[in-house]
Chains A and B, each alone.
Chain A
């Protein structure tokens, strides 16, 4: 399905985001904001449901609270390692902590961004747009590499 007004610009399919946070109010606020901005949003209130949703919808970005019941944000990331290479979603973490150790842990996971609560809705949508753009850029590059490899195979004298 193509979205005419994709939030990442151009005529691309609607970006899919899985948002997980045990704070229901924050989850609703983020979901409303992102839906209005043109994202397809799927929500989860714990780590277990976040993994289920991500496996089901294959999101562009997983937006994870770090401290959640039934699997914190980092363990959700670990459990989604089945998505390899360019199929892997981008990970954006949310935290109320200012500890440097949290930043280091997010870095070790190669997170795209770390959002410190409370954050501005405009900031969040900008970060997610950028994460989606980067993931789709990687996918396009991978598809082009595959196409070139296939062309080389086809051109090989039989």
Chain B
């Protein structure tokens, strides 16, 4: 699969080290990355510039990822990839959020990159419809 290398990714995680790890990996894969430590920071970054994909921790102390998704998707179906260690807990609540994918911890970074690529292709072809959350790793 060819890479959409000029894509910009917003990475949201309250843990600065995990944010850095994801940013390092994605930057190495050719993406342009911006980091945010809270949902409020993410919204502020989102208003400042446009992003192709948001990669966010699902369970953050400053408000969970679903609240962030609601705020981000108020105007358009922003593609969001949620990273979580508690997939089952959030599955039901995530059904009402559009254009979202789930990646369970721990994950292979190459799977995250594949997921981003698939999301970018979907976006480029205008397939931004309602989508049930699905797991990565072919589950």
Q: Which residues of A contact B (CB under 8 A)?
A: 93, 98, 100, 103-104, 106-107, 110-114, 116, 120, 122-123, 126-127, 129-130, 133-134
Contact = CB atoms under 8 A, between A and B. Distances in A.
A122 B137 contact: no
Given A100-B137, A103-B137, A120-B24, A126 B18 contact: yes
For chain A, what secondary structure do more than half of its interface residues adopt (helix, strand, loop), or is it mixed?
helix
B17 A133 contact: yes
B106 A114 contact: yes
A123 B105 contact: no
B41 interface: no
Most buried by B among A106, A120, A126: A126
B138 to A, nearest CB: 6
Nearest to A91: B106
A103 B17 contact: no
B17 A126 contact: yes
B63 interface: no
Contact of A123 (B21, B107, B137): B21
A103 B110 CA distance: 12
Contact of B108 (A103, A127, A129, A133): A103
Nearest to A125: B17
Q: Which of B21, B85, B107, B138 has the most CB of A within 10 A?
A: B21
Given A100-B137, A116-B108, A134-B15, 15 more contacts: A103-B106, A103-B137, A104-B139, A106-B106, A107-B104, A107-B105, A112-B106, A114-B107, A120-B24, A123-B24, A123-B25, A126-B18, A127-B17, A127-B18, A130-B15
